[in-house]
Amino acid sequence: MSKSMTPSSTRFTDPTRRAVMITAWHTRRIRAATAFVAAAAADRLSQKVSSEVQLQLYGLYKIATEGPCTAPQPSALKMTARAKWQAWHKLGAMPPEEAMQKYIDIVTELYPTWLSGSAAKSKGRADAASKDAKGPMGPVFSSFVYEEESGNDLTMDAIHGFAREGELNNLLKCIESGVSVNLLDSEGRTPLHWAVDRGHLKITEALLSRNADVNAKDHEGQTALHYAVVCEREDIAQFLVKQNADKNIKDNDGNSPVDLCESNWPWLQHEGKAD
């Protein structure tokens, strides 16, 4: 089959065989496209791809290779994993063949001559690139790892665990024993960050009633209110604002809670405290 000939123009008329041919054709093309993208990602002189497009490619790749997203939504603390999950999840039940074609179309728009040059340029380094290209979306913009906390990359104290799991009595015992309510874990998160991330309003109330810093920042510059808006926990967000949480405080990327809020919360856009 020539490069210009798609399966629809072949002489095969049997529907089942044509379907197999089309799937095989798309599979070969997307493999070539991902190999090319991997090589391009490893090439410092290659055109840079925006994070938005990388996420789009990621979602399409996952649909094409694994089908609809069934993985659990990552914690808002893992922003990259959450963005990748959303890019995959929002595509719903898109047919794999359609996802393959859309992926190829995007790569072709980015690199119009990729197909003619992919075999010559990518063959020698595609395997290495697929292992070594570590852009924001990972190898070939297609590596999805459900990022969750583990003892290998996160160190926390008991008070953080109690806040995360909503164990109010144990949390209070920690505080009464002299543990700081603003103790930081290895990522700069306080118990308040954890309580808000997991949606524990009572824990949040208990921490703030015991002088937790409502505007404490983690290592990414985000406060509990940032977490509340990203997790779409409106009741907790309103409570935080009533407790003088700063709606306009910026994280390390220059985003305030107001900037990150995608929900229709008019009270958050208004000046002053929540009603």
What local confidence, expressed as pLDDT, does residue 154 receive? 59
- Cα distance between residue 134 and residue 112, in whole Å: 23
263 and 234 Cβ atoms separated by less than 8 Å: yes
8 Å CB contact between 215 and 223: yes
**218 band by pLDDT with thresholds 50, 70 and 90:** very high
| pLDDT at residue 123 is higher than 60 | no
All structural domains of the chain? 11-141 (1.20.80.10), 158-269 (1.25.40.20)
Q: Which two tokens stand for residue 247?
A: 């709606």
Q: How many residues does the chain have?
A: 275
pLDDT reported for residue 222: 93
Continuous segment of H or E residues that includes residue 84: helix 79-89
Q: Where are the beta strands (DSSP E) in 65-130?
A: none
Tokens of 65: 């290779």
Q: Residue 92 to residues 26, 60, 96, 205, 219: CA-CA distances in angstroms?
A: 20, 11, 11, 37, 34
Compute the mean pLDDT over every residue in the chain, rounded to the nearest whole number.
74
Q: Which two tokens stand for residue 206?
A: 């208990």
pLDDT score recorded for residue 25: 57
pLDDT digits (tens, 9 = 90+) for 151-196: 344 567 889 888 988 889 989 988 998 999 999 988 899 999 999 9
> Cβ(192)–Cβ(163) under 8 Å?
yes
